[in-house]
Amino acid sequence: MKGRLSGIQKQVLSLHRSLLRAARAKPPETREQIERFVNAEFRKNAAIDKKNYQQIEYLIRRGQKQLEMVRTSDGFSVVEVK
């Protein structure tokens, strides 16, 4: 088993879980679209160097904005949040 998770790793995992939980509140077809998008984004960004804190923090902020959009919208559209 690997060592303990860092604070930033815990933030990333928490954001991932929150996005998937928010998806559960949506209709089935929307939920599946959100889940595919979330999982693809997290997999795509998993290769980022763990010491690139600036990029990781940017992605966390972007993910938090997307989480709010998922929570407050009736539908789902993939929007580039900057």
Per-residue pLDDT of the chain (82 residues; tens, 9 = 90+): 468 988 899 999 999 999 999 999 999 999 999 999 999 999 999 999 999 999 999 999 999 999 999 999 875 555 455 4
Contacts of 69 (CB under 8 A, 6+ apart): 79, 81
Pair of tokens at residue 29: 């077809």
Whether this model's pTM surpasses 0.75: yes
Backbone angles phi, psi at 52, to 5 degrees: -90, 70
Q: Domain residues for 46?
A: 7-72
| Structural domain count, the chain | 1
**Residue whose token pair is 């930033």:** 8
Amino acid 3 reads G
